[in-house]
């Protein structure tokens, strides 16, 4: 039997009755367990994955920004990360391994908005040593869901 969290991660709209059937638990027990997860901060938000490419009024641009920072004594990266993720433009912030320390996902109205964020808010921070910005051109898969339908390849074959 699947765990409640695993089922909810796949389908947050599932009914309590169906969730109880899949877990082999009583509906009241499932409801109580979900409330407990919410109160403890295990379940933070219920989310819908939207394919922005299928909507006419697309939302600006999405960028991935790698940030190299100077960790602070006794707190490491946490204080710097907290200062950065509180900016409203930052949709996600991750501590990563490798050349850079933080990975940010930023949404902006246009490229200039993202550029302004980097140059006016992010780069001037004392702890920031450097940044690299990547602009998202197309999403193929998000949160485990394929956003493109697989069909026949429309490209013409190149022959010599």
If you average pLDDT over residues 92-106, what whole number do you get? 96
Q: Token pair of 6, please? A: 């695993």
Whether the pLDDT of residue 93 is over 90: the answer is yes
pLDDT at 56: 66
Whether the pLDDT of residue 84 is over 60: the answer is yes
For 16, residues 6+ apart whose C-beta sits below 8 A from its C-beta are 27, 30, 31
pLDDT at 75: 84
Map residue 146 onto helix, strand or coil: strand
pLDDT class of 153 with cuts at 50, 70, 90: low
Looking at the domain covering 56-137, what would its CATH class be?
alpha beta
Map residue 63 onto helix, strand or coil: strand
Q: Token pair of 144, please? A: 């485990």
If you average pLDDT over residues 95-112, what whole number do you get? 94
Taken as a whole, the chain contains a residue count of 160
Domain segments of the chain: what residues? 4-40, 56-137
Residue pointed to by tokens 């900016």: 87
Map residue 18 onto helix, strand or coil: helix
Query: Is 100 within 8 Å of 68 (Cβ atoms)?
Result: yes
Q: What percent of the chain has pLDDT over 70?
A: 91
Map residue 156 onto helix, strand or coil: coil
pLDDT at 152: 64
Question: Following DSSP, what letter does each residue of 29-59 receive, concatenated?
Answer: HHHHHHHHHHHHTSS--------GGGSSS--
Whether the pLDDT of residue 59 is over 70: the answer is no
């Amino acid at each position: 039997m699947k765990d409640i969290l695993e089922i909810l991660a796949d389908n947050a709209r599932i009914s309590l009755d169906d969730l109880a059937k899949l877990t082999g638990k009583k509906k009241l027990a499932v409801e109580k367990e979900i409330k407990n997860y919410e109160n403890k901060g295990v379940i933070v938000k219920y989310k819908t994955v939207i394919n922005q490419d299928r909507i006419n009024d697309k939302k600006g641009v999405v960028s991935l920004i790698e940030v190299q920072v100077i960790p602070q004594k006794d707190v490491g990266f946490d204080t710097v990360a907290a200062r950065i993720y509180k900016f409203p433009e930052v949709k996600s912030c991750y501590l990563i391994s490798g050349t850079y320390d933080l990975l940010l996902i930023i949404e902006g109205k246009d490229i200039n908005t993202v550029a302004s964020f980097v140059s006016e808010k992010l780069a001037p921070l004392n702890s920031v040593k450097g940044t690299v910005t990547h602009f998202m051109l197309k999403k193929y898969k998000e949160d485990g869901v394929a956003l493109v339908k697989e069909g026949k390849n429309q490209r013409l074959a190149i022959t010599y």
